[in-house]
Structure 1
Amino acid sequence: MTELRFKSVFDIIGPVMVGPSSSHTAGAARIGKVVHDIFGEKPEKVTIHLYESFAKTYRGHGTDIALVGGLLGMEPDDERLSDSLKIAYEKGIKVAFVPESKEVDHPNTAKIKLVKGDHNLTVTGVSIGGGNIQISEINGFKMSLSLGTPTYITVHQDVSGMIAKVTDVFSNLNINIGTMTVTRASKGEKAIMIIEVDERRQRDEILQKLRALPNVDSATYFE
C-alpha cells in the first residue's frame, strides 16, 4: 500500500478563502500580498501580466480581484476581496491586466509591475496549488522562493555597508542565515535583500531592528 504524505492540513482541505479556486484566487491573493509587502507603499500604477491558465480564466475565476486584493494588503479570506478593483480605483491606483500568449514553466503565473514615482518593482509569482505560491523572479533576478522557510525581505537604498548591517542583526541574536540573495535595480538605487533563516524565534525583535537601520525602507517576514 502506498503511504500518502502531506506537508500540512492545507494540502488536504485547502485554504480558508473568498473565491472558487485555491490556485486562481487564494494563491493569486497571496502573490499579490507578498508583492504588496515587498513594495511597502501604495503604488500609482500596477501592470499585471498573466500567463497560460491565468491569462485564459482570470476574469471567470476571480484571479483579477484576488491579485488586486492582495496588492491592497488583503488576505485570501478577506470579505472585501470581491470589491478590490473598485477599492483600487477609489484609491487612485491605475491597474492594467495584460494576458500573454507566451508559454511559461507553470500555467498559473503572473508578473506584477508596480510604479510610484521613481520606485519600481517587478515580481513574478506562481500559484502552485492549494493556495501555496512561489516567487520566481524579483526585478529580473531569478530565484525559487517558496516561502515555506522563515524568510525576511528588506527593501533598502543601495549604499555601502548595508549587507554588513543587516547580517549583524541576525548574528547578534544568534540566528543562522541559511541563504541570502541581494539584487538591485541599478547602482545607488533601490535594492532588495532576501534572507532565509533556520529559526522562527525573535521575529518581532528582528523586524524592529531591521526597520530601524538607516536607509532601510521596509522589512517584512514570510514563512
Structure 2
Amino acid sequence: MAEKSSIFDMIGPVMIGPSSSHTAGVVRIARAAIRILGSSPTHAVITFYNSFARTYEGHGSDRAIVAGLLGMNTDDVRIREAFDHAEAAGLSYTFQGVGNASTMHPNTIRLQLRDERTGGAVEVVGQSRGGGVIRIVEVDGFPADFSGSLHTLIIDADDEVGSIAFIASVISRDDCNIATMSVSRRGRHEAARQFIEMDSDLRPSTLDYLRQLRWVHRVIDIQALD
C-alpha cells in the first residue's frame, strides 16, 4: 500500500530547526506519545535508532523529543532550552542509542513513558519520515500504523467475533468516516487493540457508549496533532 501523504510532504511544517526530520518530526512523535499516555510523563527512557542514534545530539533531536514530551509545538522557541524547562516541570529522562537496528526505519525513536502521579505508563515507537511527517508503528508491543494528523481512537477489547464490524458501525452512526483501521491481538480470543483514524472526532456520548461495552476495556481518544 502506498504511503499516505500530507501537506507536510510538500512544504514542511513551521518549526524550530535545523531539520524537519530531526526536530519537527521528533517533536510530533513525542506529542503523539503523551496523548496516548493521557498526561505529561514524569520519567522517560528515550532510545534513538540507526541514523538518529548517531546524530541526535548534533541535530537537536534530544532537545526536540524532550520539548514534545512537555507538549511544545514544532515552532515553539522554547525548544532550544527544553532541558531547562524539563527540570522545572519535574520531567526526568535518559537517552540511549542503538546504531545498527537493521529491521527499523533509519529515523526511529522508542519512548518508554511513566507518570508517577497517575501510575500511567506507555511504550511508543515512532518514525520520522521527513517534512515533519511521522508514523506511530507500535504501542505497548502492539503493531500500529497511524500518523497523528487525524483524529485517532485506540481501543483495547476482547477478541470477540464481530467486534470490529460493530465498532465500525457505531462510528458510522456518528456520521464519522474511517480513514484507516489496523487491528492486532496477542492471540486468538486474547487481548486485541484497534487503531482507527477518522476524518472527524466522535461525540462524547458515542465515546461513553463505546467505553461501557462489556468487552471493551479502554478507549483512548487522540485529537489530531496541530
For this structure pair, what is the TM-score category when the shorter chain's length is used for normalisation?
0.7 to 0.9
**Shift of the alpha carbon at 1:136?**
1.4
Letter in 2 for 1:145: F
Do the aligned partners of residues 169 and 80 (structure 1) sit closer, same or farther apart at CA in structure 2, a change above 3 Å counting? Answer: farther
1:71 aligns with 2:69: yes
Task: Provide the secondary structure at the position in 2 that maps to 1:80.
Answer: helix
How large is the Cα RMSD of the aligned pairs? 3.2
**For 1:15, which of 7, 13, 18 is the aligned residue?**
13
**Shift of the alpha carbon at 1:91?**
1.6
Residue 196 of structure 2 corresponds to 195
Residue 126 of structure 2 corresponds to 125
**Shift of the alpha carbon at 1:9?**
4.6
Matches within 5 A, 1:61-140: 61-104=59-102, 105-117=104-116, 118-140=119-141
Tell me how far apart the structure 2 counterparts of residues 112 and 183 of structure 1 sit (CA, whole Å).
Answer: 21
Residue 3 of structure 1 corresponds to none
Letter in 2 for 1:174: D
Structure 1 unmatched runs, 5+: 1-5
Residue 153 of structure 1 corresponds to 153
| TM-score of the aligned structures, taking structure 1 as reference length | 0.76
1:28 aligns with 2:30: no
Do the aligned partners of residues 87 and 207 (structure 1) sit closer, same or farther apart at CA in structure 2, a change above 3 Å counting? Answer: farther
Tell me how far apart the structure 2 counterparts of residues 183 and 70 of structure 1 sit (CA, whole Å).
Answer: 29
Matched pairs, number: 207
Task: Provide the secondary structure at the position in 1 that maps to 2:203.
Answer: helix
Do the aligned partners of residues 72 and 176 (structure 1) sit closer, same or farther apart at CA in structure 2, a change above 3 Å counting? Answer: same
1:43 aligns with 2:41: yes
**Shift of the alpha carbon at 1:193?**
4.0
Residue 183 of structure 2 corresponds to 181
Do the aligned partners of residues 9 and 119 (structure 1) sit closer, same or farther apart at CA in structure 2, a change above 3 Å counting? Answer: closer
Tell me how far apart the structure 1 counterparts of residues 68 and 114 of structure 2 sit (CA, whole Å).
Answer: 16
Tell me how far apart the structure 2 counterparts of residues 92 and 211 of structure 1 sit (CA, whole Å).
Answer: 33
| TM-score of the aligned structures, taking structure 2 as reference length | 0.75
Identical pairs, percent? 35
Task: Provide the secondary structure at the position in 2 that maps to 1:113.
Answer: strand
Is contact 1:151–1:194 with CA below 8 Å preserved after alignment?
no
**Shift of the alpha carbon at 1:172?**
2.7
Task: Provide the secondary structure at the position in 1 that maps to 2:54.
Answer: helix
Q: Deviation digits for residues 169-194 of structure 1, max 9, x if unmatched?
A: 5143133445243668xxx99x8642
Residue 173 of structure 2 corresponds to 172
**Shift of the alpha carbon at 1:152?**
1.4
Task: Provide the secondary structure at the position in 2 that maps to 1:170.
Answer: helix
Residue 219 of structure 1 corresponds to 221
**Shift of the alpha carbon at 1:67?**
0.9
Is contact 1:166–1:210 with CA below 8 Å preserved after alignment?
no
Is contact 1:30–1:76 with CA below 8 Å preserved after alignment?
yes
Letter in 1 for 2:113: L
Residue 141 of structure 1 corresponds to 142
Tell me how far apart the structure 1 counterparts of residues 195 and 221 of structure 2 sit (CA, whole Å).
Answer: 10
Do the aligned partners of residues 9 and 194 (structure 1) sit closer, same or farther apart at CA in structure 2, a change above 3 Å counting? Answer: closer
Tell me how far apart the structure 1 counterparts of residues 107 and 196 of structure 2 sit (CA, whole Å).
Answer: 25
Structure 2 unmatched runs, 5+: none
Tell me how far apart the structure 2 counterparts of residues 152 and 100 of structure 1 sit (CA, whole Å).
Answer: 30
